[in-house]
Amino acid sequence: MTSGYGLHLVYVRARVESRVPALAQVRERVVNDWLIDQRREANERVFERLRARYQVIIADVPGMRTAQALTP
């Protein structure tokens, strides 16, 4: 096995085949992940609508380049 630190020797004692768990075993996690994704997407849509209503202007500050207008 190789990493940023060089070559490494690894001793494998046993190997276990992977498997796809039954939906019943992961259903709660799947539902929670889906709900989190739905909430994130809904929040992003709200933020996009809010950003569309405003224009943000960054004023000149000594040491910075030029003023910028941020619009969607």
In-domain check, residue 32? yes
Q: What is the pTM of this model?
A: 0.51
Longest CA pairwise span in the chain (Å): 63
In-domain check, residue 62? no
Question: How far is 70 from 50, CA to CA, in rounded Å?
Answer: 13
Instruction: With beta carbons less than 8 A apart as the criterion, state whether 48 and 72 touch.
Output: yes
In-domain check, residue 33? yes
In-domain check, residue 42? yes
In-domain check, residue 3? no
Task: Look at the chain and report how many structural domains it folds into.
Answer: 1
Residue 37, domain extent = 24-53
Q: What is the pLDDT of residues 15-71, one digit of tens each?
A: 999 999 999 999 999 999 999 999 999 999 999 998 899 887 777 777 766 555 555
